[in-house]
Structure 1
Amino acid sequence: MTIERFRQLWTHRYFKYSHILKAHFLAYQAWIYFKTKKAKFAKGQKLIAIVRTEHFGDIVAAEPIGRYVRSLHPNAHIVWFVKPSYHELIDFNPSVDETFGEFCVTQRRVLFEKNVFDKIYPLQFSNNNHCTKCQVSIGNPIADRKGINVHTYFNFGNLLEVFAQTADLINSKISFPADDQPRLYLQDQHRQKADSLHLPERFVVIHCQSNYVPKDWPAERWDQLVKWLSENYSYKIVEIGLKSNLTTKEMNYRNLCGQLSILETAEVIKRADFFIGLDSGPSHLANAVGTAGVILMGSLGAFPSYNPYSGSYGRQENAFFVRQEGKMCSELSFEFVKEKVVSVLDKAILKRE
């Protein structure tokens, strides 16, 4: 073994075991915190955990579960476990008493092994509970028993129905038993941020990159779409997301990528006439705020045709899915997408007039 390889190996081990040690320390710290809090509860009051830590679209899709769990346990203290970067999606939810920003899955595993929680609702399946630093995964026996995993989950319904099944809240092939429309709880601070942007009176929001390449539509076709929209409609076009990969120089186009928090993004989408985007987190925001959506979708792995949404998007009351069964999103031609966008926009314009 070379000196350089030896150094790399022990550097890796140092960071790995330091991370694991911190996870254990934070777990014990959290255990003491929740044990102390629980000691002050009224007689019979329960401490309940809901676990959906990522991705933010999944957290939005799972929001109705918070309300449903509250209906089942009206007097409980409900804690939602989430990655710190997504805490704002839970912080203002009136059905949840507390947001717990999870350090990693090892922290959660050690904490739950202390049995301080009276009931845990895991809205995750085994192979999406992984910490790359600890190299540890957490299983979900409920999901395993039902055969729900990353290769099968859309065979069990939309995301809300899948998560409800992984928590044993519903059985397979049964619709969600309560209001299935996701909601967001936007605050004055989010509205004020949107006000400060001086958005146009009429505009379309676009979102052009997901966190998973097979769901994406090529950037050059998005550029074509922006150019065509600018030439044929009076709408301004506002792009949101983490970063843009477009090269368009159209005067009617504005790039807000990387400038907004999740809920600030939701407020911008709420003010738009339409959302045109991918099967990704922002489309779930659009569903939750009630903005009409045109969603570019394709086959996804073992799922040639699927529907991730509940509520008005899931029933396609407020959304139009642009897809050709068996084709990936990247294979959708510009002309095919343009034709579908025309049908949606023109119909809305006629209705407005």
Structure 2
Amino acid sequence: MTLDRFIQLWTHRYHKSCHIFKAYFLGYSAAFHFLWRKLFFKKGKDLIGIVRTEHFGDIVAVEPISRYVRSLYPDAHIVWFVKPVFRELVANNPSVNEVFPEFCISERKALLSLGVFDKIFELQFRNNNYCPKCQVFKENPIAQQRNINVYNYFNYGNLLEVFAQSGDLIAPNAVFPADDQPKLYLTDDHRKKVEKLALTKPYLVLHCQSNYILKDWPADKWNQLVAWMAEKYDYQMVEVGLKSNLTVATDKYQNLCGQLSILETAEVIRNAAFFIGLDSGPSHLANAVGTYGMILMGSLNDFPTYNPYSGGYGRQDNAVFIRQEGEVCANLSFDFVQNKIEAVLDHSAHGV
């Protein structure tokens, strides 16, 4: 072994060990925090945890579970476990008493191993319950028992139904028994931030790039779509997301990528006439705020015609899925997508 390789190896081990030590320290500290809280609970009051730490579209999709758990345990102290970057999605949820910003899975394992919580609803399965620094998975016994995993989860329904089953809140392959329309809890701060943008109305919101290449539609086709809509319609077009890969030359287009928080993005979408995008986080925001959606979707791995949404998008009362069975999103032709969007914009009562 060379000296450089030796140093790299032990540097990695040092950082990993420090990370694990911090995780367990935080986990045991959190256990003390919750034990202290329980000392002041009224007799019979439960401490309940809901675990859905990522991704942000999934967190939005399972929001109805917070209301359902609250209906089952009206007097409980409900804690939502989430990654800090997504804390804003649950911070203002009136069904949640406390948000636990999770450092990593090892922290949660340490905390839950002490039996402080009276009930835990894990809305995750092994494949999306992993810390790359600790290199640790957190198993969900319910998901294991029901054989729910990353390779088959859409065989169990939409995201809300899948994660409700993973948390043992509903029976296998059951329909969610309560209001399944996701909600967001926007504040005046979000509204004021978007008002300052002074976006020209009416406008369409575009989301053109997901976090998974198999869900994407090529940038050159998006460029062509924007140019066509700019020529034919009076809508402004506003792109949201982390970053843009478009090269657009029209004053009807505005790039807001990377400039907004998640809930500020939701407020932009809420004020839009339409949302046109992919199966990704912003489409779940659009579903939650009630903006009519045109969603470009294709087959995904072993799921030729999956449906991730509940509520208005899930029933396609408030959305149209632009898809062809067996084709990945990238293979959707421009003409096919154009015709689907044209049908909505020309004939919808919301059109200009």
The residue that corresponds to 1:263 in the other structure is: 263
Aligned to 1:139: 139
For the residues of structure 2 that align with 1:234 and 1:319, how far apart are their CA atoms? 21
Amino acid at match of 1:11: T
Alpha-carbon deviations, 1:266-322, whole Å to 9, x = none?
000000000000000000000000000000000000101100000000000000000
Partner of 1:237: 237
Q: CA deviation at 1:126?
A: 1.4
Give SS of 1:248's match: coil
Q: Distance in 1 between matches of 2:325 and 2:304?
A: 6
Partner residue in 2 for 1:325: 325
The aligned counterpart of 1:296 is 296
What residue is the counterpart of 2:43 in the other structure?
43
Aligned equivalent of 1:211: 211
Q: Structure 1 segments of 4 or more deviating over 6 A?
A: none
Partner of 2:315: 315
User: What residue in structure 2 maps to residue 122 of structure 1?
Assistant: 122
Q: Is the aligned partner of 1:76 residue 2:85?
A: no
- SS of the residue aligned with 2:348? helix
Q: Hey, what's the Cα distance between the residues in 1 that align with 2:141 and 2:246? A: 43
Q: Which amino acid aligns with 2:202?
A: R
What's the CA shift for 1:7?
0.9
Q: Which residue in the other structure is 1:187 paired with?
A: 187
- Aligned partners of 2:348, 2:190: CA distance in 1, in Å? 27
Separation in 2, partners of 1:125, 1:276: 30
- In the TM superposition, residue 171 of structure 1 has moved relative to its aligned partner by 1.1
Residues 187-212 of structure 1: CA deviation (Å, up to 9, x unaligned): 00000001000011200000001111
Q: Is the 8 A contact 2:159 2:310 kept in 1?
A: yes
Q: Tell me whether 1:197 sits opposite 2:194 in the alignment.
A: no
Identity of aligned residues (%): 64
| Whole-Å separation in 2 of the counterparts to 1:189 and 1:108 | 32
State the TM-score, normalized to the length of structure 1. Answer: 0.99
Amino acid of the structure 2 residue aligned with 1:259 = Q
Counterpart of 2:7? Answer: 7
For 2:303 and 2:27, the matched residues in 1 are separated by: 38
Q: Which amino acid aligns with 1:274?
A: F
Matched AA of 1:338: Q
Q: Are the equivalent residues in 1 in contact too, given 2:299–2:328 (CA < 8 A)?
A: yes
Instruction: Name the SS of the counterpart of 1:313 in structure 2.
Output: helix
Give the secondary-structure state (helix, strand or coil) at the position aligned to 1:172: coil
Classify the secondary structure of the residue corresponding to 1:204. Answer: strand
**CA deviation vs aligned residue, 1:114-165 (integer Å, no higher than 9, x gap):** 0000000000011110000000000011011111000000000000000000
8 A Cα contact 2:345 2:351, kept in partner: no
Alpha-carbon deviation of 1:352? 5.9
* Residue equivalent to 2:248: 248
Indicate the residue corresponding to 1:176 in structure 2.
176
Q: Which residue identity is paired with 1:283?
A: S
Give the structure 2 partner of residue 21 of structure 1: 21
Change (3 A) 1:231 1:270: same
The two structures have a TM-score, normalised by structure 2, of 0.99
Say if 2:165 and 2:173, in contact at 8 Å, map to a contact too: no
| AA of the residue aligned to 1:57 | G
Partner in structure 1 of residue 151 of structure 2: 151
CA distance in structure 2 between the aligned counterparts of 1:44 and 1:6, rounded to whole angstroms:
56
* CA-CA distance at 1:173 after TM superposition: 2.2
How far off is 1:250 after superposition?
A: 1.3
- CA distance in 2 between counterparts of 1:247 and 1:11 reads 42
Distance 1:104 1:78 in 2: 20
| Distance in 2 of aligned mates of 1:272 and 1:299 | 28
Question: Which residue is equivalent to 2:102?
Answer: 102
Q: Give CA deviations for 1:210-251 in whole Å, capped at 9, x if unaligned.
A: 111110000111111110110000000000000001111211
Q: Distance in 1 between matches of 2:207 and 2:145?
A: 37
Could you report, residue by residue, the CA deviation over 1:61-110 in whole angstroms, capped at 9, with x for unpaired residues? 00000000000000000000000000000000000000100000000001
Letter in 2 for 1:278: L
Instruction: Give SS of 1:133's match.
Output: coil
Asked whether the 8 Å contact 2:84–2:102 carries over to 1, the reply is yes
Amino acid at match of 1:235: Y
Q: Provide the alpha-carbon RMSD of the alignment.
A: 0.8
Q: Name the CA distance, whole Å, in 2 between partners of 1:164 and 1:132.
A: 26
Secondary structure of residue in 1 paired with 2:38 = helix
Alignment partners' CA distance in 2, 1:238 and 1:60: 22
Tell which deviates more after alignment, 241-250 or 285-294.
241-250
Gaps of 5+ in 1: none
Amino acid at match of 2:70: R
Distance 1:299 1:35 in 2: 47
Q: For residues 38-67 of structure 1, what are the alpha-carbon distances to aligned partners after superposition, in whole Å with 9 as ceiling and x for unaligned?
A: 111011100000000000000000000000
Match of residue 346 from structure 1: 346
The one-letter code matched in structure 1 to 2:123 is L
